Amino acid sequence: MGDLYLVTGGAGFIGSHVVAELLQRGHAVRILDNFSTGRRGNLTAVGGDVEVFEGDMRSYERAHNAVKGVDFVIHLAALPSVPRSVQDPLTTNEANITGTLNVLLAARDNEARRVVLASSSSIYGANAAMPKREDMMPQPISPYAVSKLAAEQYARAFAVVYGLETVSLRYFNVFGPRQDPTSQYSGVVPRFMRIALEAGRPVVFGDGEQSRDFTYVANVVDATLSAATAPGAAGNICNIGCGDPKTVLDLIAAVSRVAGRPLEPEFAPPRVGDVKHSFADIALARKLLGYEPRVGFDEGIGRTFAWLVEDMPGAPA
């Protein structure tokens, strides 16, 4: 058996894919999840011998127990969503900042070898320069983005002050199988796909020309596992995207193609806290992690739609 990994948020969308790949590579896996957004069904999908710690990372005691004996921590647990953070910034702060601090303390106290932290492209916020580079000044414009930036800074401080190896990864608009299409906070990709299956009309906030670096989940998994062991990665922050921006209207066209029917959007005013354009410069991830996105946008859209049609219970056919 390989190393022991703790995946916080391991029952979630990205977490369950990370868990599956770790098991595939022969590692032992432990999960810490409170199942507020994660799903037990995602763990059924990964199979294998996974140790599950049910609990909230806002409890230091729970985090400490989960990290005990672990070699690597992949910290994915968070309260996602910009709109949710705008509605309830206090809970976002507690989960994403206090929760991260507890995980870092637990990793320090249990002498874990490295912590990989899931951050977000949202930290760039109002900084309009393109593409987004890690040395740019963050200008977060939502409580969610602030919470992710604070988590990054805690990780960096722990590396400097306590010698705990940390790597922060700024994920760009991850999509793929197991992303919940029914949640009001779900990503736009599965939401649009579900609407297509139900012959509905997607709501587009703004003019639809806003662009995102839609990144298929397998690419993110590759980068995340590389970040756990890459010798030169410790102490760094890396963008994880594809460097290939698509507009929301591009996404609607792609979903229309795989669904075999045109999606007619309804336009609504822009949302508070949303960023107009965002895509990644991934040169640093290439250099430090050997990262190369292997699943492009169109292939990822096809894979995700096939999952939604075939594998999700209750999905319209």
Catalytic residue numbers, as ranges:
144
The upper half-sphere exposure of residue 257, i.e. CA atoms within 13 Å in the direction of its Cβ, equals 11
CB 95 within 8 A of CB 140: no
* CA angle centred on 164, ends 161 and 167, rounded to 5°: 110
Burial of 291 (0-12, 13-18, 19+ CB in 10 A): buried
Long-range contact pairs involving 203-206 (C-beta distance under 8 Å, separation at least 24): 203/265, 203/266, 203/267, 203/268, 204/248, 204/249, 204/252, 204/265, 204/266, 204/267, 204/268, 205/268, 205/269, 205/270, 205/271, 205/274, 206/248, 206/267, 206/268, 206/269, 206/270, 206/271, 206/274, 206/276
In contact, 264 and 213? CB cutoff 8 Å: no
Both tokens of 44, joined, read 């059924």
Tokens of residue 165, six digits: 């190896």
Best CA proximity match to 179, nearest among 142, 239, 126, 220? 220
Nearest Cα neighbor of 243 from 138, 135, 130 is 130
> Distance (Å, rounded) from C-alpha 317 to C-alpha 302?
15
3-state secondary structure of 264: coil
Let me know: does 164 contact 115? Beta carbons within 8 Å.
Answer: yes
CA-angle at 54, arms to 53 and 57, nearest 5°:
90
